A and B are shown apart, each in its own frame.
With several copies, the nearest count.
Chain A
Amino acid sequence: MTTTPPDTGTTAPGTSVTSSELLSVVASRELAARRAVFAGIGLPTLATELARLTVAPEIEVVYESGVCGAHPSHLPETIADAVLISGAEAVLSMPALFGYVLQGGHIDVGFLGAAQIDRWGNLNTSVIGDWERPEVRLPGSGGAVEVMAGSREVFVVMRRHNPRSFTEFLDFCTTPGPDRALAEGIRPRGAGVTRVITELGVLAREGVGDQLRLVATHPGVTVDQVRAATGWELAVTDRVATVPPPTAAELRLLREDVDPGRVYLR
């Protein structure tokens, strides 16, 4: 494969765009008009904070640690960072966070990551290899099973787009989308994964019964490149768009207001 991801070579502000900047900007745009977002730390932090300054001024970020409406004095390093707690609007217990907020249906968009994803948006964060004696033991679900089950829709941001991560068959399905739940006769709440944002482009999925389709590529990336980087026979929308590159305004906000210390803007 000879794919060259767009402009990832340098991190000098103002010149070219890093992978983190690109993914954050694209993810932030997808949050337009969304309100309650469940997010981890890292790229989702950048995306949600940029969205607050651009397309989603009323966004409320809910963290797995129980924090709602954080007003941190510094960029948080973990979802439990003390700076997320001091000055927050509410801090909830785990039973309230998972039971009332997530399962109760108060989250519009949940951000998840994964080691593996399949065409239905099912995710693996448990093991590479066999569960009983894995090649690599990964951290496991955390709250991912609940984020998928409870959020109206789920966004996945994956830095690396390759056939090992975008796989026909998961080594293990930790976090099932609604199609797998329905197949077992369990009623799901949300649509499952509706957006996957990668270094190559954007995949989208409507909801139950639909599979991920390539809807846009970054400038300079071809559909064939994405097909080659995907471990299943990739569905492609009729008119694949080109993702508009980050604007100067977006980059300035991201670099100067959201993460001036470049903690996550690697």
Chain B
Amino acid sequence: MERTDTAAGAGVVMSMREAVASFVHDGATVSLEGFTHLVPTAAGHEIIRQGRRDLTVVRMTADIVVDQMIAAGCVSRLVSSFVGNSSAGSLGELRRRIERADPAPLAFEEYSHYGMVCRYLAGAQRLPFYPLRSYGGSDLPGVNSDLRTVTSPYPGPDGEPERIYVVPPVNPDVTIVHAQRADRRGNTQLWGLTGVQAEAVYAADKAIVVVEEVVADAVVRSDPNRTLIPAHAVDAVVVCPRGAHPSFAQGYYDRDNAFYRAWSHISKDPERLREWLREWVYGTEDHAAYVDKLGEEFWAGLAVGEALSEPVDYGRRL
């Protein structure tokens, strides 16, 4: 009964350049997810290099890569629940856009984290809305008309009809996530913080999975519960080691906290920000060049030791 695998030609492994050119179009709604961990930075940089325009970016934690994409002129609308440089300070470009429309305005749809999670949940499940116990009394519905209420058809605890807020689905044209590993057909395994990546991929029309490495089929199949994103939901697999820098990949490299702190200063000065983009994004052909430019000594500083999981036994019929 062991089956023959599908032909290698059926695989979806492609370069970052090809994946972005194929699936990220001007005017598209693009979700980039990864909650501090596994941020798809390299994909954001390639979007900048290819000069995409008028994107709606959907990302729970709009952080450095979003500030860079905004500064590069790729983004006209942002849907987010946290617009800050982690705990390290501010996003200079984003603040200038929102506070002073400098050098151009930025449309902003503001949510809370769970509001965003629920939008992805509704998107993945193709539901017309998703209910949540947030927003009662908040000023957010006053500035975001997509936060609405429905009345439950079941009586509340006091016997009276119960109202609850709902959010609409988000169905991005393309979702891009970063993960530790996948097989060549896109069965994707990630561990550590897994955030909302599976939901963001299922919500999307197309999905690009960027991985630290493509592994043998047997590795993935030895632990099918670790596959959070099955191949049927993936359109492109891009191999891009260290593609989450300055964020981290659990077990592969640590977070570059110094760069997070530096970004608050870099982004505060528009000219310095543009110089940074010229040197590190436009000035590098691809992420491999960016990695080389940082140098081996730099990467040694982010190296981590080994801490292997204990295996579990899936068993086999005797």
List residues of chain A with CB within 8 A of the CB of B143. Answer: 131-132
- Tell me, rounded to whole Å, the shortest Cβ–Cβ distance linking A255 to chain B: 13
List residues of chain A with CB within 8 A of the CB of B220. Answer: 89
Contact assessment for B227 and A85 in the assembled complex, using a CB-CB cutoff below 8 Å: no
List residues of chain A with CB within 8 A of the CB of B172. Answer: none
Contact assessment for B136 and A181 in the assembled complex, using a CB-CB cutoff below 8 Å: yes
Q: Give complex CA distance A86, B198 in Å.
A: 21
Q: Contacts A141-B81, A145-B140 hold; do A102 and B114 have CB atoms under 8 A apart? A: yes
* B contacts, CB < 8 Å to A: 1-4, 6-7, 10, 35-37, 60-61, 80-84, 86-87, 94-95, 98-101, 110-115, 117, 121, 124-127, 132-140, 143, 149, 156-157, 162-165, 183, 185, 187, 191-196, 198-199, 202, 217, 220-222, 224-225, 227, 230-233, 248, 250, 254-255, 257, 304, 307, 314-317
- Tell me, rounded to whole Å, the shortest Cβ–Cβ distance linking B103 to chain A: 15
Contact assessment for B198 and A100 in the assembled complex, using a CB-CB cutoff below 8 Å: yes
Contact assessment for A143 and B112 in the assembled complex, using a CB-CB cutoff below 8 Å: yes
- Whether, in the assembled complex, A41 has its beta carbon less than 8 Å from a beta carbon of chain B, the answer is yes
- Tell me, rounded to whole Å, the shortest Cβ–Cβ distance linking A115 to chain B: 12
- Tell me, rounded to whole Å, the shortest Cβ–Cβ distance linking B195 to chain A: 5
* A contacts, CB < 8 Å to B: 35-36, 41-42, 49, 52, 57-58, 60, 62, 64-69, 71-75, 77-83, 85-96, 98-106, 122, 126, 131-146, 149-150, 170, 172-189, 258
Contact assessment for B316 and A95 in the assembled complex, using a CB-CB cutoff below 8 Å: no
Q: Give complex CA distance A49, B194 in Å.
A: 25
User: Chain A binding site: helix, strand, loop or mixed by DSSP?
Assistant: loop
- Tell me, rounded to whole Å, the shortest Cβ–Cβ distance linking A95 to chain B: 6
Contact assessment for A65 and B37 in the assembled complex, using a CB-CB cutoff below 8 Å: yes
List residues of chain A with CB within 8 A of the CB of B121. Answer: 95, 99
- The interface centre, meaning the residue of A68, A78, A176 with most chain B CB atoms within 10 A of its CB, is A78
Contact assessment for A173 and B138 in the assembled complex, using a CB-CB cutoff below 8 Å: yes
List residues of chain A with CB within 8 A of the CB of B149. Answer: 186
Q: Contacts A82-B304, A86-B314 hold; do A139 and B83 have CB atoms under 8 A apart? A: yes
Contact assessment for B196 and A103 in the assembled complex, using a CB-CB cutoff below 8 Å: no
Q: Give complex CA distance A219, B191 in Å.
A: 48
Q: Determine the residue in chain A with the shortest Cβ distance to B113.
A: A143
6 of the cross-chain contacts (CB-CB < 8 Å) are: A42-B87, A72-B1, A90-B227, A140-B83, A145-B112, A172-B139
Q: Determine the residue in chain A with the shortest Cβ distance to B138.
A: A176
Contact assessment for A185 and B230 in the assembled complex, using a CB-CB cutoff below 8 Å: no
List residues of chain A with CB within 8 A of the CB of B81. Answer: 140-143
